[in-house]
Structure 1
Amino acid sequence: MCLILLSWQIDPDYPLTIAANRDEFFQRPTLAADFWPEHPDILAGRDLEFGGSWLGISHKGRFAAVTNLREVASTGDRSRGNLVKDFLLSSQTSRQFADQLESQKTEFRPFNFIASDGDTLFYTNNIQAGWQALSPGNHAIGNIPLSDENAKTKKGGADMDSAMAENVSHEELLNMLRDEAPTIDTDNEINMALSCRFISLEGYGTRSSSIVRANKNGQWDFWEKHYASSESQKEGLQHFSFRVSSGA
């Protein structure tokens, strides 16, 4: 996942809205979002290489997502996708999970990680010490630390601000994620392509877009649009809807 745009606790009807693109090599084996047979509370896509996920939610009202950190040397061998899976399966609060993770962060490949138990939305990475509870507002997380900013995250954040102010639909959020305009001007064609919100390169690009909306009444909706990575594939959109389990 290379860009996560989210709105946290500023809309009285929808305390959490996520619009995110996953960028990955086309050859990497992946399952589209679904409830996991062995963990039916989890609704997420699945990375078949390591078994984790890039973004998911659960019947208990939990959310988690991860991005990689570009141009950062790996400090560990554990897949960052396991962070999403482990948080969604955990019964710990966001704060407890973040505190426990602190001593283990260097075991993972470079990551940005964001997760919520419904009460606290926290962010951490494994190139800086500590974690932070995010304040209400709109946030843009890319492949750089949240404390930094580049043209891609700046434009994404501005577009998310406009989208939430206009109370747009999930279709409009998906269209927003399909923006193919470069955010930098450079002679390096690869860097220019990577600066786009929707990436299209030979063998690598945006493979899916996800929209998550959590209603104040406990209703969660998850849309995933997956894109064709070869001529034999077709684009597809799926939608899941459920209410948070009682006692979550």
Structure 2
Amino acid sequence: MAANRDEFFARPTLAANYWPEHPHILAGRDLEFGGSWLGISLNGRFAAVTNLREVEASGDQSRGDLVKDFLLSQQTSTQFLRDLETKKGQYRPFNLIVNDGKSLCYINNFEPSWTTLPEGIHAIGNIPLSDDNKKTKKGRADMSAAISSAFDHQTLLTMLQDPNPTLDSEEEIYRALSQRFININGYGTRSSSIICKSKNGQWDFWEKSYANSTSQKEALNHFTFSAKPSSSD
């Protein structure tokens, strides 16, 4: 899994780490609402969320809670999404993917129902998975090329780089949002995450944080562990 997180530079954030009150969760943290955009757990769960940029807001609950709640849950992916289906309108527009170690599932709150994703390469951006654009098409193609031969985390971090100069006009800003790596008037790519799961159960999580005009400095952190059977905190 390779992903960029785009967010306002001024929004308070903690880099990926184990959460003190839930030490089996390894994730970044949004300090505004307490949730996360992407994370894994020591019992082999994974979740990530994006916004839906051109979908009208329905609810006002933070979508970052979805990642946190799934990582805290012991439900299967399908059980979690079945329950979420009845209340997903309470959240800000989202795409959500969850994996309980067996099934990778997807849901949004723009379309009805949810789905189990088949084996293969998927690109999830700021549009519903049922749609496609140049950004998601290029994402699938670049990911396919990156993993077609021997690769490491640096290969994927390099793939996530798509530097774009700081832009000013509304037209330039709209065009830049289709880029993979952005920097637009206080908003842009805050971090890149790489997650690899080996067949023997070992997880590796790299997070690269980028320097910006706030106090954030560039850093690359790496975490590794072997997944344990699911258990409560």
Using structure 1 for the length normalisation, give the TM-score: 0.89
Task: Structure 2: give runs of 5+ residues left out of the alignment.
Answer: none
Residues 204-246 of structure 1 show CA distances to partners (whole Å, capped at 9, x for unaligned) of: 0000000000111110000000001127543110000011014
- 1:25 is matched with which residue? 8
Of residues 163, 184, 193, the one that matches 1:210 is 193
Q: Does 1:84 align with 2:67?
A: yes
Q: 1:72 to 1:137 in 2, by over 3 A?
A: same
Indicate how the Cα distance of structure 1 residues 124 and 213 shifts in structure 2: closer, same or farther if over 3 A, else same: same
Supply the distance in 1 between the matched residues of 2:84 and 2:214 (Cα, whole angstroms): 42
The Cα offsets for residues 132-190 of structure 1, whole Å up to 9 and x where unpaired, read as 000000000000000000111111110011112123210010010012369xxx98100
Aligned-residue Cα RMSD (Å) equals: 1.6
Residue 71 of structure 2 aligns to a residue whose secondary structure is helix
Cα distance in 1 for residues equivalent to 2:19 and 2:217: 23
Report the CA distance between 1:72 and its aligned residue. Answer: 1.1
Distance (whole Å) between structure 2 residues aligned to residue 73 and residue 198 of structure 1? 24
Give me the whole-angstrom Cα distance separating, in 1, the residues matched to 2:112 and 2:84: 11
CA distance in 1, matches of 2:83, 2:215: 44
- Cα distance between partner residues in 2 of 1:220 and 1:137: 19
Which 5+ residue runs of structure 1 have no aligned equivalent? 1-17
| SS of structure 1 residue aligned to 2:196 | strand
Q: Give the corresponding residue for 1:14.
A: none
Find out whether 1:148 has 2:131 as its counterpart. yes
Q: Distance in 1 between matches of 2:100 and 2:170?
A: 44
Selected match of 2:33 from 45, 50, 64? 50
Matches within 5 A, 1:1-248: 18-180=1-163, 188-230=171-213, 233-246=216-229
Letter in 2 for 1:54: W
SS in 2 for 1:189: helix
Query: Which amino acid letter does the alignment assign opposite residue 152 of structure 2?
Result: S
Identity rate, percent: 65
**Aligned equivalents of 2:129, 2:163: Cα separation in 1:** 23
Paired residue secondary structure (2:225): strand
Q: Is the 8 A contact 2:9 2:214 kept in 1?
A: no
- Normalising by the residue count of structure 2, what TM-score does the alignment of the two structures yield? 0.94
1:13 maps to none
Secondary structure of the structure 1 residue equivalent to 2:69: helix
Distance 1:213 1:245 in 2: 16
Q: CA deviation at 1:53?
A: 0.1
Change (3 A) 1:42 1:231: closer
Describe the superposition over 1:100-122 as per-residue Cα deviations: whole angstroms up to 9, x where unpaired.
00001100000000010011000
